[in-house]
Chains A and B, each alone.
Chain A
């Protein structure tokens, strides 16, 4: 069997989730948003800056043996609004959908305002209202500070 260039980079997964069409260079931030940045048992493949017909370059993340839920993947839209989610069962794409940003982002971002109560040891999670999805405009529920650019810089 002749391996194609793509196959040599990464093999198909049997069960799990493939996050495709991630904006190039954002794959590690996607893992961060998904909370997969500590030690993990899961088999994870990360492809960065692969050639894409539509995007030019893109990133792909594959998470084996875990079907990510809509609530958790939608947060990815913050940094990769064009990402698509493929749920894989027995090597087949069982479900496929585009990410859609939620109206409220909880516990994912840190408020840029140092004097915001959410940046203290209080027992609360940061909360941002999504005022606009494209371009992204977030407003802190606590101090009303807005975030419009460099979103990845504020990921917790």
Chain B
């Protein structure tokens, strides 16, 4: 079911392959809390972050260590061969010989694809510019499966749907499960028409509105994204938009009992901290689920010993 050599984008995943990853994550989740799993003892994961990242990098490190493996960090790019003008291809070829798998985050789109062409070991894309970030999508799907349900799902994607790469690949993946998707965003941050057309071509129902109140009562999942201040030339315009999309406990009075609220984090002020204590807030657990999902991918790509 899972014969991939690299994980570069969600485009290459079938529903069966996603299900296989989620099932493996489920098996490994107890070990993500600190159980004794030595499946990847003696294996090394190299982390090549050419851009700053906290949670993605640490979550990969945790995933590797929870399975008994070790990690290598590239360190600040200034101090490495890259500053001397070495090509990414050469860096990948060299470091690929030190490790059993590579994780790469790089500011250029397509860099993970390039890495996969030169690497002797599996490559996992942890974000290539405005391109893909497949492990985020997989952990989002895992969260939905754990905390809600993937079948007959009604989900609202809220916020910046134009530039946010995570919502685009999540929407594509949800289309594989036939989800009913509602898009709620300010007019200037609507999802690109091409993506909507692709989703509809896959048979997904896509609704679009600017008013969250129209849909909040009927949905299973509310996926909130950050609206970036820099997208608005006029700060007053930003304030107006940001306020109109803020999730508060007041808004949650009329929602379904089992509604879950997700957010890829970091959040700024789109979710009121008061919401954190409600049963609907799952965004911190969502962040934790990155560990079992990345454990599953590492296990499936590197192999290693059987799970104890």
A: residues with CB less than 8 A from B are 113, 115-118, 120-124, 140-145
Residues of B within 8 A of A116 (CB): 108-110
Main secondary structure of the interface of B (DSSP, over half): mixed
Asked if A141 and B113 sit within 8 Å, CB to CB, the answer is: yes
Residues of B within 8 A of A122 (CB): 87-89, 114
Residues B100-146 near A (CB distance < 8 A): 106-111, 113-114, 117, 128-131
How distant is the Cα of A116 from the Cα of B108 in the complex, in angstroms?
A: 6
How distant is the Cα of A121 from the Cα of B87 in the complex, in angstroms?
A: 7
Q: Which of A121, A124, A142 contacts B109 (CB 8 A)?
A: A142
Given contacts A115-B129, A124-B117, contact A142 B87 (CB under 8 A): no
Q: Which of A118, A124, A141, A143 contacts B131 (CB 8 A)?
A: A143
Asked if A115 and B107 sit within 8 Å, CB to CB, the answer is: yes
How distant is the Cα of A87 from the Cα of B276 in the complex, in angstroms?
A: 73
How distant is the Cα of A9 from the Cα of B74 in the complex, in angstroms?
A: 64
Residues of B within 8 A of A141 (CB): 110, 113
Residues of A within 8 A of B88 (CB): 117, 120, 122
Asked if A117 and B117 sit within 8 Å, CB to CB, the answer is: no
Asked if B110 and A140 sit within 8 Å, CB to CB, the answer is: yes
Q: Which of B11, B110, B128 contacts A118 (CB 8 A)?
A: B110
How distant is the Cα of A121 from the Cα of B82 in the complex, in angstroms?
A: 13
Q: Which of B11, B89, B106, B107 contacts A123 (CB 8 A)?
A: B89
How distant is the Cα of A91 from the Cα of B106 in the complex, in angstroms?
A: 56
Asked if A117 and B110 sit within 8 Å, CB to CB, the answer is: yes
Closest to A141 in B: B113
